[in-house]
Amino acid sequence: MSANSILTVGSIAIDWLELPDGRKGEVIGGSATYFTMSAGRFAPVHVVGVVGSDFPQQGMDIYHEYAASTAGLQIEDGDTFRWGGRYHSDWERRTTLYTELGVFESFNPRLSTKNRECPFVCLGNIQPALQLSVLNQLKEGESLVICDTMNLWIETTRDDLLQVLRRTDILLLNENEAHLLTGVPEIVDAANQIRSMGPGAVVVKQGSSGATLVDDSGAVHAGVYPIEKIVDPTGAGDCFAGGFVAALSKGKSMRTALVSGSATASFCVEGFGTEGMLNLTEETLRERIEVVAERSEFA
Ligand code: AMP
């Protein structure tokens, strides 16, 4: 196990997307898929997740290419997790058309001895009960725990989520989710209230307005890379997390990781489904990090 190994648990999905320009279609998705594609080029990513027997080979190929190990990727009889989403005309807000848990309903994540030793653990967006099950298999305090979540879990499984937060070091969430979780309208105040629930640091993702990091040193804001045209925003949050955690795993500061997360997410929104992530290389990322750093208040 190397010092920069990342363990990630998250959804592995077949998504149905409907975009404001009329484009629609089925793609491989899921929080773990986007995370692995964004972090896997820069750090060894060990994946824990489940797919059904209907999961296409094309999806497995992504994992074989980007993950350091897929030993924790279980294939079960049944249907792969499916999510359908329709975006509003602002290309940011979206309506969930359906969420079908499929094999996630009875998923019981089992961590190998190796996986338990990963110094970085990213709990991607997934039912908090599964995030807890992963946390319960780790040695308390030995890994840096980064967690992502979404409105569905804040609304339906709040108590489980609060248990996860007590054991989380860094929480990433969207601006509207921060409001939903706290009832506090102002971003920094909301983030500070979340910090009192457990995480020492909170990253509030603000879509095309960038992201704000709030920790012991105060609040800092990172901008975004100016892309020409959004093709599909799906997965941007997970790619932000991937870029952020990959940078932390290389020993970068939280502020530098914030810029890296923002730059990484910009690749994602340039393609349909995971297509945009194919353009992410060490060189293209470096170029975009420079641009985002210039557009960040702490450059
Ligand atoms: P993002 O756009 O970063 O929020 O992530 C989009 C991905 O989240 C899609 O590929 C979906 O498959 C996945 N997703 C949507 N809803 C859920 C959910 N309830 N649990 C886990 N993953 C989800």
C-alpha of residue 81 to centroid of ligand 1, in Å:
10
Pocket perturbation via mutation, ligand 1, pick of 14, 83, 148, 262 by most ligand atoms within 8 A of CB = 83
158-204 pLDDT, tens digit each: 999 999 999 999 999 999 999 999 999 999 999 999 999 999 999 99
Q: Retrieve residue 169's tokens.
A: 């070091």
pTM of the model: 0.97
Ligand 1 proximity of 80 Cβ (cutoff 6 Å): no
The predicted structure's pLDDT at residue 112: 93
C-alpha of residue 95 to centroid of ligand 1, in Å:
12
Ligand 1 proximity of 29 Cβ (cutoff 6 Å): yes
Shortest-distance atom of ligand 1 to CA 239: 3
241-288 pLDDT, tens digit each: 999 999 999 999 999 999 999 999 999 999 999 999 999 999 999 999
Ligand 1 proximity of 238 Cβ (cutoff 6 Å): yes
Shortest-distance atom of ligand 1 to CA 236: 3
100-113 pLDDT, tens digit each: 999 999 999 999 99
Ligand 1 proximity of 278 Cβ (cutoff 6 Å): no
Ligand 1 proximity of 11 Cβ (cutoff 6 Å): yes
Q: Which of 1, 7, 37 is nearest to 273 (CA)?
A: 37
> Which residue(s) pair with 202 in the sheet?
171, 214
Helices (H), the chain: 31-39, 57-66, 113-116, 128-136, 151-156, 158-166, 175-182, 187-195, 236-249, 254-268, 282-294
Ligand 1 proximity of 236 Cβ (cutoff 6 Å): yes
User: Which band of pLDDT confidence, cut at 50, 70 and 90, is reported for residue 1?
Assistant: confident
Ligand 1 proximity of 31 Cβ (cutoff 6 Å): yes
- Asked if 103 and 78 touch (Cβ cutoff 8 Å), the reply is yes
Q: Which of 222, 101, 191, 88 is nearest to 152 (CA)?
A: 101
110-121 pLDDT, tens digit each: 999 999 999 999
The predicted structure's pLDDT at residue 141: 87
The predicted structure's pLDDT at residue 230: 94
Of all protein residues, the one whose alpha carbon is nearest to atom 18 of ligand 1 is 126
Q: Retrieve residue 43's tokens.
A: 């750090």
The predicted structure's pLDDT at residue 297: 80
Of all protein residues, the one whose alpha carbon is nearest to atom 16 of ligand 1 is 83
Ligand 1 proximity of 30 Cβ (cutoff 6 Å): yes
Ligand 1 proximity of 241 Cβ (cutoff 6 Å): no
The predicted structure's pLDDT at residue 282: 96
- Asked if 210 and 219 touch (Cβ cutoff 8 Å), the reply is no
Shortest-distance atom of ligand 1 to CA 153: 19
24-82 pLDDT, tens digit each: 999 999 999 999 999 999 999 999 999 999 999 999 999 999 999 999 999 999 999 99
C-alpha of residue 265 to centroid of ligand 1, in Å:
15
